[in-house]
C-alpha cells in the first residue's frame, strides 16, 4: 500500500509517513531451454536504497496485498496511510514474516551465471543466445471519533494485529482528513490535498497503521514485519501518487505478482521486458551490482522513465534452473494463494500459480497516474540472466586452439565489450582495459 510503495522512503523519515497507496491486486525473448552453468551473483532488491517491495495475489476480484516495510527510523515515528477500495475488517489483515518476501526476491532476482570454455580441440565454442535490445494517536478512541466526525472523518474500524494498531477511515473532504491526521501526529506533505481528494471522489477509504511500542517490546522485536491486507474490488490497480508527493527523487518499486492465469502487465503504462541472455565480460563478476544498476538505469533512460519492466516471469510449478529453493505452498498460502491443492511442504503444481516480477522506477512527473494492471494468458518464460564465459587456459599447440586464441576469443571479447557498453552506457575503452587486466581463477593458477 502506500507504504508499499512507500518508497515511503521520504515519508518514512517524517514523524509519520504517508505511504504510497495501493489499492488493488493489484523483449527480449526468454530462453526456456535448460542450460548449464552456475549462479554466481544476483541483482536483488538490496541493490536499491530507495526501494519498496509489494506482493500482489490476485484471484478474480480478490486482492491480497503484502507490503514490506523499509522504514529505518524510530518505530514510534512510523505510520502508514493507504487508500483502499473497501472497508477493511480485522480478519482481512495479517502480519507476515519478512523471510517469505526475501525468498520471493531471491527466487526471482536477475542473475549472473558463468561458464568455462572447453578445449577448442574437442568442440567449437557455442554462440550465446542473443536477445533484442514506512502521546499515542490510537488512545482515547471516543474523543478521537468525536473530533474526527467534526472534520467529516469517520473511523469505520479500529483493531490491532501483532505490533500494529490499525484504523480504517472514510472522509468527506481531503482538507478535513489532512487536518485530522495532522492533529494525530501525521505530517502530511504539502501537495497531498488534491491527490487525497481524488481518492475520496472515488469513494476510497484510508487504511492507517501505527506501531504499538508496548506490544512490540513484549514480542521482543526490533523490526517491523510486513502487513498483508485483503479486499474485494473490480479495480485492479496500485495507487502510487501519494508516494510521490514529496519524494526527493525517483523511487524504485518491486512487485511480485502471484496469479492463476499468466503474466501480469500494466494497461496504462508500457510494459517492457529487460534485455536478458546476453554475454558480458567475466570481470563483471566482481561488480555485478554496479552493472545491473547501470543497465537498469540505462533502460529507464531509453524508455524515458515511463515504463514498467519485467524482470522475471515463470510457472511456479517448475524452474530451469531454480535460482533459490522453490517456494513451498505453506509460504504461498501465507501470502494469500489459497487455491493451491498440494501439501504445505510441496511446491505448486505446474499451471497452478504464476509469478511476475515487475520493477518500476518512477516520480511524479513521469507517472502521473496510478498503476493499472491486467492478468494475461501469456506463459512465455522470462528470467533476467547475464552470462560470463571464462576462456580455456591451455596452450595454442593445434590449429583449432590457435584459431580459438587468435580469432574466436578476441572477437568474442570485443562483442562482450560492445554489449556491455550498449547496455550500461559505460566507456568502451575502460571496459576493454578491465577486460585485458582481468584474470580468472584458472588463469591465475596457470601463471
Residue 165, φ and ψ in degrees, nearest 5: -100, 135
Residue 162 maps to a domain? yes
Whether the full predicted model's pTM is greater than 0.85, yes or no, is: no
Give 364-394 as a DSSP string: TTT--S-EEEEE------EE-EEEEEEPP-S
Question: Higher confidence at residue 379 or residue 49?
Answer: 379
Identify whether the C-beta of residue 358 lies closer than 8 Å to the C-beta of residue 382. no
All cell numbers assigned to 199: 481518492
Residue 403 maps to a domain? no
In this prediction, residue 428 carries a pLDDT of 97
Residue 412 maps to a domain? no
All cell numbers assigned to 260: 492463476
Residue 432 maps to a domain? no
Q: Which of 2-16, 53-67, 183-197, 328-342 has the lowest mean pLDDT?
A: 2-16
In this prediction, residue 144 carries a pLDDT of 66
In this prediction, residue 238 carries a pLDDT of 87
Spatial distance between the Cα atoms of 214 and 23, rounded to a whole number of angstroms: 30
pLDDT digits (tens, 9 = 90+) for 51-103: 789 999 999 999 999 988 666 667 666 778 888 999 999 999 999 999 999 99
Average pLDDT over all residues of the chain? 82
Q: How many residues belong to the chain?
A: 447
Range of the domain at 275: 2-389
Q: Which of 180-194, 222-236, 295-309 has the lowest mean pLDDT?
A: 180-194
In this prediction, residue 37 carries a pLDDT of 41
Which H or E run contains 217?
helix 213-219
All cell numbers assigned to 153: 472523518
Q: Which residues pair with 65 in a beta bridge?
A: 56, 229
Identify whether the C-beta of residue 153 lies closer than 8 Å to the C-beta of residue 176. yes
Q: Which range has the top average pLDDT, 181-195, 335-349, 431-445?
A: 335-349
In this prediction, residue 313 carries a pLDDT of 96
Over residues 373-384, mean pLDDT? 94
Residue 436 maps to a domain? no
Residue 394 maps to a domain? no
Identify whether the C-beta of residue 145 lies closer than 8 Å to the C-beta of residue 74. no
Residue 52 maps to a domain? yes
pLDDT digits (tens, 9 = 90+) for 388-446: 999 998 899 999 999 999 999 999 999 999 999 999 999 999 999 999 999 876 666 65
Spatial distance between the Cα atoms of 391 and 396, rounded to a whole number of angstroms: 13
Q: Which of 77-86, 136-145, 362-371, 390-399 has the lowest mean pLDDT?
A: 136-145
Residue 105 maps to a domain? yes
Nearest to 272, CA basis, from 237, 314, 296, 307: 307
In this prediction, residue 403 carries a pLDDT of 94
Residue 249: pLDDT band (50, 70, 90) is confident
Three-class SS of residue 360?
strand
Q: How many domains does the chain have?
A: 1
Amino acid at each position: 500500500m502506500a507504504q508499499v510503495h512507500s518508497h515511503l522512503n521520504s515519508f518514512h523519515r517524517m514523524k509519520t509517513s504517508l505511504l504510497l497507496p495501493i489499492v488493488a491486486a493489484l523483449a527480449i525473448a526468454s530462453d526456456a531451454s535448460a542450460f548449464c552453468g552456475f549462479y554466481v551473483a544476483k541483482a536483488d532488491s538490496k541493490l536499491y536504497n530507495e526501494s519498496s517491495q509489494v506482493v500482489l495475489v490476485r484471484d478474480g476480484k480478490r486482492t491480497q496485498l503484502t507490503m514490506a516495510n523499509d522504514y529505518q527510523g524510530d518505530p514510534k515515528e512510523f505510520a502508514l496511510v493507504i487508500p483502499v477500495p473497501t472497508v477493511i475488517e480485522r480478519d482481512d489483515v495479517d502480519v507476515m514474516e519478512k523471510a517469505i518476501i526475501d525468498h520471493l526476491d531471491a527466487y526471482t532476482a536477475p542473475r549472473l551465471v558463468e561458464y568455462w570454455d572447453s578445449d577448442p580441440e574437442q568442440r567449437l565454442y557455442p554462440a550465446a543466445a542473443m536477445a533484442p535490445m514506512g502521546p499515542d494517536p490510537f488512545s482515547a478512541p471516543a474523543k478521537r471519533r468525536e473530533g474526527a466526525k467534526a472534520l467529516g472523518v469517520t473511523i469505520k474500524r479500529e483493531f490491532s494485529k501483532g505490533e500494529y494498531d490499525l484504523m480504517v477511515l472514510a472522509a468527506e473532504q481531503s482538507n478535513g482528513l489532512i487536518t485530522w491526521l495532522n492533529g494525530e501526529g501525521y505530517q502530511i506533505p504539502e501537495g497531498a490535498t488534491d491527490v487525497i481528494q481524488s481518492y475520496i471522489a472515488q469513494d476510497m477509504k484510508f487504511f492507517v497503521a501505527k506501531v504499538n511500542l508496548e506490544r512490540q517490546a513484549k514480542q521482543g522485536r526490533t523490526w517491523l514485519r510486513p502487513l498483508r491486507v485483503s479486499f474485494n474490488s473490480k479495480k485492479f490497480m496500485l495507487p502510487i501518487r501519494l508516494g510521490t508527493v514529496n519524494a526527493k527523487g525517483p523511487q524504485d518499486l518491486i512487485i511480485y505478482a502471484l496469479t492463476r492465469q499468466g503474466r501480469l502487465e500494466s494497461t496504462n503504462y508500457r510494459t517492457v521486458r529487460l534485455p536478458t541472455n546476453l554475454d558480458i565480460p567475466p570481470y563483471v563478476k566482481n561488480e555485478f551490482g554496479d552493472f545491473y544498476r547501470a543497465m537498469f538505469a540505462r533502460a529507464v533512460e531509453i524508455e524515458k522513465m515511463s515504463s514498467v519492466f519485467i524482470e522475471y516471469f515463470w510457472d511456479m510449478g517448475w524452474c530451469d534452473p531454480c535460482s533459490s529453493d522453490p517456494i513451498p505452498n505453506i509460504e504461498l498460502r501465507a501470502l494469500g494463494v489459497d487455491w493451491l491443492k498440494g501439501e504445505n511442504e510441496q511446491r505448486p503444481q505446474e499451471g497452478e500459480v504464476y509469478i511476475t516480477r515487475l520493477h518500476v522506477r518512477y516520480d511524479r512527473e513521469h507517472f502521473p497516474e496510478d498503476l493499472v494492471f491486467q492478468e494475461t494468458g501469456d506463459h512465455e518464460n522470462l528470467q533476467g540472466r547475464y552470462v560470463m564465459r571464462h576462456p580455456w587456459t591451455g596452450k595454442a599447440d593445434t590449429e583449432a586452439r590457435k584459431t580459438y586464441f587468435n580469432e574466436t576469443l578476441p572477437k568474442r571479447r570485443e562483442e562482450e565489450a560492445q554489449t556491455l557498453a550498449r547496455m550500461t552506457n559505460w566507456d568502451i575503452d575502460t571496459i576493454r582495459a578491465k577486460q585485458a587486466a582481468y584474470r580468472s581463477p584458472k588463469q591465475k593458477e596457470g601463471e
